[in-house]
Amino acid sequence: MALTQYTYDDYTVAILCALESDRDAVRYMFDEEHERLPSRKGDPNSYILGELHGHNVVLACLPSQQGKAAAAIVAAHLSRSFLSVKWRLFVGTGGGVPSAKFDIRLGDVVVSMPEGGHTGVIQHDLGRATISGFEPKGFLWPIPSILRNAAQDMHSDHLGRDNKIEEYMNIMFEKWPGMTSYKQPPEADILFPSHIPHSSGTSTCTGGCDTSQAITRPARQFEGPEIHYGLIASGDLVVKNATVRDEISQRFGGVLCFEMEGAGLMSEYPSIVIRGISNYADSHKNDIWQRYAAATAAACAKELLSLIILEAPAAKPALAIKDTEISTGVVVRRQGLPNVEHGNVGIWR
């Protein structure tokens, strides 16, 4: 079946991803994929186009390199080509920061939300090291009110019912059997105390780490990923050290996850960041949960967009209908500007 083709001006939502695995998770969440458009001069980005809950979405992925600068460049090219984009989301994976307040686990999702004077994303590696401590610098745009309101509505909805992450993922797996690598991995979700490093020479914790030292966490009431809302730390530093992770988190009053691109996007455009948790930003970090976390983040983004009501198309102004009386006594219905009386004949100008 032929794909539907739209124009550049028909797309109002932009989703950016750092990795191909993140992009593919979003792509195969599309309700419908659209025909690609001819490239525009000066724009090196590659785009995948589609629809999510009635919203026309342009999907872009960073080219090979990661970080804030790469995200800002891709976002700038996209915005010059797609002038009608209103809402921007950065969707992908991140390193979680479990705490007594937030029981974050692998596969859960973190949505950036304002807290403590921050806009939802913190650029943790930009600032001044002073005698009194670290002073952050820089400006990040706040989350657009429509996206923030949708996130708040989603949070409220989930107090009374389950989120739709597993529902959307099951639809994707049924529709696209080749996406089975994005299913939850069989490996255990193991969290170690901050002072317990990963055993050298092994890629996974089950292959060498002493799991008897792992933190025991209670079983959850409901199965499936949970969605958390709060601060996300963004920077070019890859955090694989639990001590550094906790120190940075405490510096900003508690962050929920680490990632590397959100600040690059939000330094230029109002946006929201959605991250699936694929590791705990410690020395035990590996890629086993990467694809599953990418899928949970994509499903969360899809549910978020379902809560944004499509705007009705602007009504065309009605043309004035006037009765023009001709000298013969016949009344003719005409459209146009008000007539100007001239003698016994109505003249339209």
According to the model, what pLDDT value does residue 327 have? Answer: 39
Task: Share the mean pLDDT of the chain.
Answer: 87
- Report, as an integer, the average pLDDT of 203-213: 69
Q: Between 332 and 125, name the one with better pLDDT.
A: 125
Q: What is the Cα–Cα distance from 246 to 233, expressed in whole angstroms? A: 11
According to the model, what pLDDT value does residue 185 have? Answer: 95
Range with lowest mean pLDDT among 33-47, 86-100, 134-148: 134-148
According to the model, what pLDDT value does residue 292 have? Answer: 98
Q: Between 132 and 147, name the one with better pLDDT.
A: 147
Task: Tell me if 47 sits within 8 A of 60, measured CB to CB.
Answer: yes
- Report, as an integer, the average pLDDT of 221-234: 94
Taking the chain, what is the end-to-end CA distance rounded to the nearest angstrom? 51
Range with lowest mean pLDDT among 54-63, 145-154, 245-254: 245-254
Q: What is the Cα–Cα distance from 71 to 301, expressed in whole angstroms? A: 18
The pTM of the full predicted model, rounded to 2 decimals, is 0.86
- Report, as an integer, the average pLDDT of 210-221: 81
According to the model, what pLDDT value does residue 139 have? Answer: 83
According to the model, what pLDDT value does residue 173 have? Answer: 98
Q: What is the Cα–Cα distance from 176 to 214, expressed in whole angstroms? A: 36
Q: What is the Cα–Cα distance from 69 to 264, expressed in whole angstroms? A: 6
According to the model, what pLDDT value does residue 315 have? Answer: 56
pLDDT band at 200 (very low <50, low <70, confident <90, very high): low
pLDDT band at 346 (very low <50, low <70, confident <90, very high): very low
Q: How far is CA 256 from CA 172, 221, 227, 237, 253, in A?
A: 27, 21, 11, 16, 10
Each residue of 13-63: pLDDT tens digit? Answer: 999 999 999 999 999 999 999 999 999 999 999 999 999 999 999 999 999
According to the model, what pLDDT value does residue 138 have? Answer: 79
According to the model, what pLDDT value does residue 133 have? Answer: 72
Q: Is the pLDDT of residue 205 over 80?
A: no
Q: Is the pLDDT of residue 83 over 90?
A: yes
Each residue of 274-332: pLDDT tens digit? Answer: 999 999 988 778 889 999 999 999 999 999 999 999 876 655 555 544 444 433 444 43
According to the model, what pLDDT value does residue 341 have? Answer: 39
Task: Tell me if 231 sits within 8 A of 252, measured CB to CB.
Answer: yes
Range with lowest mean pLDDT among 93-107, 223-237, 284-298, 329-343: 329-343
